[in-house]
Amino acid sequence: MAKTGNASVWPWLGLAVAIVLLDQFTKTLILGNYRLGDSTTVTDFFNVIRAHNTGAAFNFLSNAGGWQRWFFTGIGVAAAAFIVWMLRSYPGQKLFAFALACILGGAVGNVIDRLLHGYVVDFLDFHWGFLAGIFPGGHFPAFNIADAGITIGAVGLILDEILRVRRGR
């Protein structure tokens, strides 16, 4: 498979697979132990809940009538294919490849949900009073491990670009 210099794509694909496995394991626990809408208070700012998201981030297009399931599945599959190609092309760029692997694992985890259930299973519910003006009751939209992987990856891509630009000066 792809190797550039001494760098291999396999560790990055392994990271993506680990994210998918952790994501699917935690979602299986939630599906097996919670009914839709159930909630367990863990701290004064964090609950474990069971929520279904038929849309995208922040429930975008969640009430669009069903077509969004296949639209977001298609985007996820296309993104995964592009990311694998990018990982094969740049496995030696560690921060870049780490970020892509996190996004890949998250995208695949959520695509699996859409294919199996028709929705994404969310279960991490953080809430703070200062968010009340932005989100109902101060509850940030529920999310999952896949979403966390995508977010970590996006932050990594931004950081990688900032560092690349600074090196170019």
Identified catalytic residue from 23, 122, 125, 160: 122
**DSSP notation for 80-132:** HHHHHHHHHH-TT-HHHHHHHHHHHHHHHHHHHHHHHHSSEEEEEEEB-GGGT
- Residue 122 annotated in active site: yes
Output phi, psi for 7, to 5 deg: -90, 140
Q: Which residue has the tokens 């968010």?
A: 131
44 labelled catalytic? no
Spatial separation of the C-alpha atoms in residues 139 and 19, rounded to whole Å: 25
Residues with Cβ < 8 Å from 163, sequence gap 6 or more? 95
**Catalytic residues, which ones?**
122, 147
